[in-house]
């Protein structure tokens, strides 16, 4: 009985207080604990779904970014047509 009392006291500390009388019965404590666990499970499920949606969105954006970063034929032609003087930094003499 002492161990059961101790467990109920620990449970009482972890379960949010309900609306009603300040002195709760064991039955009301167990009922509140069950409702609290159900709410936590629902929150966890919503959080998992949101995380999955965000992971899918991230994957989609990553694929889009990779497509945007792929060079096109037009970009290669423009880069090839530039001479090396346009690509390099100006020399010290050119800056003065």
**pTM, rounded to two decimals:** 0.58
Looking at per-residue pLDDT, the higher value among 10 and 24 belongs to 10
* Token pair of 17 as six digits: 């207080």
Contact 14, 28 (CB under 8 A): no
CA angle 68, 59, 75 (to 5 degrees): 10
Listed by start position, the domains of the chain span: 1-15+24-69
Diameter over CA atoms, the chain: 92
pLDDT tens, position by position, 29-60: 899 999 999 999 999 999 999 999 999 999 99
Dist. CA 57–CA 61, nearest whole Å? 6
DSSP alpha helices (H): ranges in 1-96? Answer: 2-14, 26-69, 73-81, 84-87, 92-95
């Amino acid at each position: 009985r002492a161990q059961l009392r101790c467990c109920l006291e620990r449970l009482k500390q972890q379960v949010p207080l309900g609306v009603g009388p300040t002195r709760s019965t064991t039955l009301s404590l167990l009922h509140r604990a069950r409702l609290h666990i159900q709410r936590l499970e629902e929150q966890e499920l919503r959080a998992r779904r949101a995380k999955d949606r965000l992971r899918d969105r991230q994957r989609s954006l990553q694929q889009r970014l990779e497509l945007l970063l792929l060079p096109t034929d037009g970009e290669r032609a423009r880069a090839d047509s530039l001479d090396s003087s346009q690509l390099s930094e100006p020399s010290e003499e050119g800056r003065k």
